[in-house]
Structure 1
Amino acid sequence: MHDDNRPGPEPLADPGASTAPALEPAPLLTRRAVVQSAAVVVAAVGLAIMLALPTSFVVRMPGPSFDTLGGEGDDRVIVIEDRKTYEPSGQLRLTTVSALGNPESRVPVLRLVRAWIDPDEGVYPLEAVYPRGVTVDQTTQVNQADMVTSQERASVAALRQLGIDVPSTLTVVETDPTMKASGILEAGDVVTSLDGIGLTDFDHLSSLMDTKTPGDEVTVGVLRDGEPLDLAVETSASPHGGDDRAYLGVSLEIDFDMPFPVTVHIDDVGGPSAGMMFALGIMDLLTPEDEAGGQVIAGTGTLETIAGDVGEIGGITYKMRGARDEGATWFLAPRGNCGEVVGNVPDGMTVASVETLEEAYDAVVAIGEGRGAEVPGCS
């Protein structure tokens, strides 16, 4: 009887075949590998989404600079008509700061990481640049208005610094009903004098008012419908508090009678910080001296008054770096910014500190004549 459970005869060995056991083919992906791969994909997608998410920060960086002496003919940055001008050999560059991000266009995380790494860029909270409740359009309009004001003030300050008369007219727009001038001074009155002293401009009026205290009575000379009047007005304290100055309590419109047209052509730049460099450019073009003397001089600073007081600005470290990148070796900085300047001056650049337009002009002349070492710096 044949027993099916008995082992049968061993098959004959094939001398050409391998005697190694056959291997099971490996699966393309084990279950663990699938899970790990999926986790990596999910993590990568999550990271990509996170890096692309908008943030509440603004990136600030060096912006372009513009040579106020640049261009030819009607394409000059500064165009002066009906007056002889002189060809410069150097450059006087106004500087800017560029910003990335606003309430309507947020900066993604990945771009912030780059800004944190780049020593020429900085990251700021959105509210530090765009206050809450203020739209991008409103901010742009304010910056454009500041630029127009700075150009007008620069033109007047430059001409007066050169001894060219620029008359101005101060016209009452409205009176504050809570202050003593209400009912005495009227809209349309042209203010001509204070306590018998003829006024040259608003800064002159402001300086005279600085000698008064609230409650003092002053005599305001005006032209009303062409008729001269002397009006007794009691000065008032600020309705908002915070200082002890005396106020007339009127809003004034200031009109300058320029002896010849001065026009500044520059696009996509806002704010007041180019005032000093505009004024220096106008002065250079109107004088036969070659003030800059072939040097590339950059700078920044507001003109706080038409008398030429230079005010401090923001973003000066970025402005110095931007000027360096465009070949400037000298930089005119408001003295009030010296605390930020020290320790942040780019290699190859020398900074001169100034407080007035007169000091800035003298610094340009000294640099152009090779006497830059004589100009005070920041320390």
Structure 2
Amino acid sequence: MPRPAADVQAFASRATDADLADLRARLTAARLPEPETVHPSRPGPRRWDQGVPLADLTDVVDYWRTTYNWRSFEEDLNRVGQFRTTIDDLGIHFLHRRSPRADATPLLMTHGWPGSIAEFIDVVDELADPEAPEAPAFHIVAPSLPGFGYSDKPATTGWGTEKIAAAWVELMARLGYDRFAAHGGDWGGNITTVLGGRFPEHVLGIHTTFAEGPPGLTTDGLTTTERRWAEETHNFWHHRAAYAKQQATRPQTIGYSLVDSPVGLLAWILDKFAEWSDTEDSPFETISRDRILDDVTLYWLTRTGASAARIYYESHNSLDPELRVDVPSAITMYPRDIEKCPRPWAEQRYRRLVRWNSPDSGGHFPSLEAPTHFIKDLQEGLTAVLTAAT
């Protein structure tokens, strides 16, 4: 069993009673706008055309204020195992769940925005100690991105995806994992791609729900479905990505609202859970209110609305067009995700693509929307990756 470096310290989550009381007081005193001016006659995604509907937000705010239990999530985090270490003068927080299996493989799992380590809380145990003896087992390491959760907030520029990937290699080395597999979606998928491309001597292979081909590829030869994916992705970035432009250009400006107003923070994040999930009317069709509030409350208590937004300033459109990934790669494209890459395009960057999966359902947050399916897909994808790596 590898021994962690001495500068890795155990960590426990414990918000103060005063902070939780302050949150409830702010929710009680919230000033809300008038209702949206679109009123579809029946439930459906059109209700969200102007953003989070007032009735939905009011309901969640009331639940957050009167019923939601942050202490339960703290217990979950502390049970899994939390730690911190300092890399390049920045404190990095991470979950670390070792498998009891002797044949387990180290697996680095990286979240994105507006997610957090809350994305993995429902899947860690089964990945580390699967019920089926034939299923692969993993030693799980899930860091909080710089500026997110219990990781420190960078005080200078420079913490983009390339630097984060290098920090993750150092983190894994400190835990005794010189060779490891990696998984991620959203920004975590971008970072996972960088890991596979820049550090093949340390990365056995990758699994990702994010894939981005090199720029300038033609749609010639794509299937009808692949052409639709390309059109949907283009439409998203040109018509539904104002949040990304704001965070990439003026993260400090939106940050004041995200750090000062819990209702503003909730609306900013809930809007994305609604639009990016595979649902027809509300994200709560597939993700519990508690789990979304775990994520939002983590941002609130750690005051990371602004610092987390800065990853867009640091890294928006920054993936090196020349980067190629030559380690074995498995890619899953969920149909309701916001960015779907046709396989021929992905193959131009991921040059040892050993598994491609395109499920019939699922959105941007598969580990929260369908954790059982996500676990199975990840196990099968990484089995293909690890077989090809031997």
Q: How high is the TM-score relative to the length of structure 2? A: 0.28
Higher helix share: 2
Pick the structure with more strand per residue.
1
If you compute each CA radius of gyration, which structure gives the higher value, 1 or 2?
1
